[in-house]
Structure formats: C-alpha cells, structure tokens
Chain A
Amino acid sequence: MNGRITTLNRLQRGIVPLVLLAVFALSPLVLKQYALILLTNTFMYIILAVSWSMFSGPTGYISLAPAAFFGAGVYTSAVLGFALPFPLIVITGGLASFCMAFLVGALTLRLRGIYFVMFTFGLVELLLNFVLWWEVTVTGTTGRVVPPLGNTTVFYFMLAILACLLLTAFRLKHSKYGFALQSIGQGEEAAAHTGIHVTALKMNTFALSAFFMGAAGVVMATRWTYIDPRIAFNPTLSFLPVLMAIFGGLGQLYGPIIGAAIFTYLEEFLITRFPYHYMLIFGITMVIAIRYLPDGLVGLVQKAWKQWSRRKHGAAQG
C-alpha cells in the first residue's frame, strides 16, 4: 500500500511539470501578444528569483548581484548581435556570467553577512560605471541596438531556460550537495570540519546560479532591442528577485516561483493604475510581507494547513 503510494507520488511528480511545460509551450497559439509578453516577463523574474534562491536560500549568503550577472548577459547579447547563432549567444552569455561569478565568488565568499551583501551590490554599480566609461571613451557610444527576435521566439527561449533551471535546481536541492549547502548556512565551520569543501561548493553554486541569470539577460535584451548600461545593470533587478524569493518563501522550490509570479503581476497592475506611487506601494507590501511572513507565503500556507489538519484530526478523535 505504502509502496504503491510512493510510486504513484513519484509518477505524479514527474507528470505535473511535464503537463505544465506542454501547456506553456502551446500557450503562444492562443495567447494575445500582451499576455505573451507578460508571461515572458514573469518567466524572467522567476528565473532570477529561483536562481538567486538556489544559492542564497540554503547558504544564507544574501547576494545583491543578480543585476550584475543579468547585465553581463544583456551586454553579451548586444556585443555579439548576429555574430553567432542565437542559442550559442545564450550559452555564451550564461558562461560569461558563470565565469564572472566564479571570480567574484573567489574574492568575496569569505565575507559574511552584511559585508557580502554590500560587496555584491557594489559589483552592480562597479560594472555599470565601468561599462559606461568604456562605452563613452572607447567605443564612443552609450547605447547599443540588439537585433530583435520576435515575441514568440523570446518566449520560447525564456521557457527553455526556465525549464532547465527548474530541473537543475530540483536535482541540486535533493542531491547531497543540496544538503551540504544547507549545512553551510547552518554552521559553516562545522560543515568544513565534516569534510565539505565549503569554498568550492559555494563558488560553484554561486556561478551556476549566475549562469541562468546571464542566459536570461541575453534573451531579454532582444526584447528590449535598445540597451544602455543603465538599462542592463539596473539595480532594481538585484532587489526584486530577492524580495520575490523571500516573499514566496525560501524553504521550497516553488516558493520563489509563486513569489515572482505574484509580484510580476502586482508590478504590472500597480504601474498601470498608480504610475507615480507604485514603487511606494510595492515597498510597503514588501515590508509587511517580511515583517509578518518570515517563512514567506508558502510557509504561511503550510502553517495554516498544519493547523487545519490538526484541528480536523482532533475533532475526529474527540
């Protein structure tokens, strides 16, 4: 009986994502352009939030570098243009971010707490100003044009990156390395003395998460078509994914997904309704969420579910 349930569970686990993937893959056939673009945007934020939480969730190292890695992808896209087949550009952009994160990780992952947060955020500003300086003094421009790809193509690329990311994040979380990452977050010294190569694991995971951010940047650039350093290295793209992931809940893989989906929609809604106050409302929502939902939305639902089932259980017994 028990065995049957677990195989059934495992089957369901595999089927649900596949069905979802199929639904999304077919959605451009029925969706209007606006909905398709909104969905692409949502995917982008989900990619940033999930890849961020892949590293920062278990380890507790709060990185504010997503915008730097995303921006590296955007610029890869702009520089390479049509020089390579597009899928190769996506991979190149991902690798560029991967290498950058690996180097940055080597320098900064010794830092703990607020120092790490500050350094990673400084990286975004550093890259922004460096590229700005480079473009003005060396190439003599500030902006670049990225060849457009078309909304449907962009959508499919984003979906493909998202699917790869979710598969990677899921496999990582349930592997021994996933547990090792958690142990680092709960006691780095003890982890090192338990035989875990703490530095290598942190650097590789940090770089892996940056790969997906970079890849998403490459794809997004083709939708924006015109980019400059301030668009590419927009600090908001460092904060939003973090807030979304925390809002959704870091304990489960679907936490950041739900958080990102809700927030993308909320942003869209607020921008159109309250163009001048939307950031303010956004911020207040965030403060309330962090103050009253320490385990995120998913944590809240889990808690409510536990209480409800306990009450039901108690009633049945009584």
Chain B
Amino acid sequence: MALLKGEKVTRYFGGLAAVFDVSFEVQQGEALGLIGPNGAGKTTLFNLISAALTPRPGAIYFKGRKITGLSPYRICRMGVARTFQTVKVFPDLPVLTNVMLGASFGASPGLSWGDAAEEASEILEFVELSAVRDTPAGELTLANQKRLEVARALATRPDLLLLDEIMEGLNPTEIARSMELIRSIRGRGVTIIMIEHVMKAIMNLCDRIMVLHHGSKLAEGTPGEIAASDEVIRVYLGERAHAGS
C-alpha cells in the first residue's frame, strides 16, 4: 500500500486550474522530487496534501485513510509535516521553543512541555542548530531559518515530510549541507517529497521525480528517465539551460 496517494487531485483558483487532475503515489521510505516551471502548481499541491487547501474535486489518502477535508493540525498529527517556501518560523520565539511546539503539539501523542524540551534539543543537535538554541528565530540567517523549519517539522515525528524549496537562496556550501541533512533524514526512515529548483540536489537525492506543468502532470520517472525526456527538457530543463547560457 502506498503511504500517500492522490486521486485526480484538482484545485481551481477562479477560472485557473492551479492543479488539474493529478494522480500520484508515494511509497514508504521513498524520496520524490517535484519539479516544474514557476506557477506549475507545485506549492499548491503541497498545500492540498497538508490541507491548507481542499482539493475540489479529488481525494488524497494517507496510510490508506482518506484525509481530504481534515484540518491542517490533524494532518500534522497523523504524520505529515511540511516546511514553507517563504520561511514561516515564529520569529520572536527562541529556536528551541519553535521546535518544542512541534514536539508538544504536532507529534501524536503530544509530549509534555518538559519532554518536548529534551526531544527538541536532540533534533537541534541533529540539524546542527544547537549553538543558536536560545536565539529568537527571526534573527537567524535564511539558511538557518530553513533548517529550523525542517527541525520544527521533524519534531512532529512525521512519516512524510514535505520540503518546499529549502535550498532556495542558499549558497553552494549551504546547499551541500542541506543535501547532507536530507540524506540523514532519509536515514531515519522518513518519506520525503521535495520541491526544488536545484537540479543537482533533485537528481542526487530523489528516487523518483514528478514534473508538473500548468497544473498537470507532465512526466514521472527516475532521475535518469526525466533527464532524458524530450518533453521535460522542452518545457523545463531546456528553458533553464537557455536561461543559463
């Protein structure tokens, strides 16, 4: 049974289909890359999975249970955690408290505040943010705020982690560290779906890639297959190559 399954997931904004008729499956332990041009509907798909939005029509199943229509907090407690394209840390709260909230409210069953502190410390150790644990989150660098979002998401003990462009705006060193982090998260057995424009990361980290274009699924396959697909090169990879040259 697939860990996550989407059936003909659709979402319109006014007359525009942001996501249209997308069906997908994600297996336990897998890392799925989600790519596509800007405005292809990648983040909207994340919003639909994490219940920030409801698909109309369409249905999403997590661990075999239909989760369409549930509230975000319930989805989170069931084991789906996410980060945000534009970072959304709690800026005035200390780094540690940011993560404690995840452990105390997002995990199921939620930890007591004291146990949450312990768990959060471990997670900060894991993402290498222990040195700034008492700093207000808003004072961190962008790279560290993105790491903090990952830490907060991990604290909810997810089975599925949705990473929305956590490498965007980072320098090469930070990207390398970020890739390392994703590898070690996979090592913990967490299933990952990641949206990313850094192709090196997608190609190296993902077992499978899904390409969205104008809200619809354009292609799906292993990194090798996607890199060789004429259609994908035409709408996405080629475009980039042009822009780069």
Contacts and interface: CB of A to CB of B under 8 A. Distances in A.
A179 interface: yes
A197 B108 CA distance: 13
B89 interface: yes
A268 interface: no
A190 B50 contact: no
A4 interface: no
B104 A176 contact: yes
Given A176-B116, A179-B97, A186-B93, A195 B88 contact: no
B81 to A, nearest CB: 8
A30 to B, nearest CB: 42
A196 B90 contact: no
Contacts of B88: 187, 189-190
Contacts of B73: 192-193, 195-198
A236 interface: no
Nearest to B87: A190
Contact of B76 (A179, A180, A186, A195): A195
B92 interface: yes
A98 B73 CA distance: 25
A195 B113 CA distance: 14
Query: Which of A175, A176, A199: most chain B Cβ within 10 A?
Result: A176
B106 to A, nearest CB: 3
Contact of B90 (A187, A192, A195, A199): A187
Interface of chain A, main secondary structure: helix
A182 interface: yes
A153 interface: no
Contact of A179 (B50, B81, B101): B101
A195 B52 contact: no
A85 B50 CA distance: 52
B45 interface: no
Given A193-B50, A193-B72, A176 B89 contact: no
B107 A195 contact: yes
B113 A176 contact: yes
B82 interface: yes
A77 interface: no
Nearest to A183: B90
B110 A195 contact: yes
A255 to B, nearest CB: 15
B102 interface: yes
Contacts of A196: 73, 101, 105-106
A194 interface: yes
A179 B84 contact: no
B156 interface: yes
B92 A186 contact: yes
Contact of B100 (A179, A189, A199): A179
A194 B100 CA distance: 10
Given A176-B105, A189-B52, A192-B73, A182 B89 contact: no
A190 B90 contact: yes
B93 A195 contact: no
Interface in B151-205: 152-153, 156
A303 to B, nearest CB: 16
B156 A187 contact: no
B182 to A, nearest CB: 19
Contacts of A183: 90, 93, 98, 101
Given A182-B92, A186-B90, 12 more contacts: A175-B113, A176-B101, A180-B101, A182-B90, A183-B93, A190-B88, A191-B90, A192-B71, A193-B52, A193-B76, A196-B106, A198-B73
Interface of B: 50, 52, 71-73, 76-77, 81-82, 84, 88-93, 97-98, 100-102, 104-108, 110, 112-113, 116, 152-153, 156
27 contacts: A176-B100, A176-B104, A176-B105, A176-B113, A179-B93, A180-B105, A183-B101, A186-B90, A186-B91, A186-B92, A189-B88, A190-B84, A192-B71, A192-B72, A192-B76, A193-B72, A193-B73, A193-B76, A193-B82, A194-B105, A194-B106, A194-B153, A195-B76, A195-B105, A195-B108, A195-B156, A199-B71
The 10 closest A-B pairs by CB, nearest first: A195-B106, A190-B88, A195-B105, A195-B76, A192-B72, A186-B90, A176-B113, A183-B90, A196-B105, A187-B88
Interface of A: 175-176, 179-180, 182-183, 186-187, 189-199
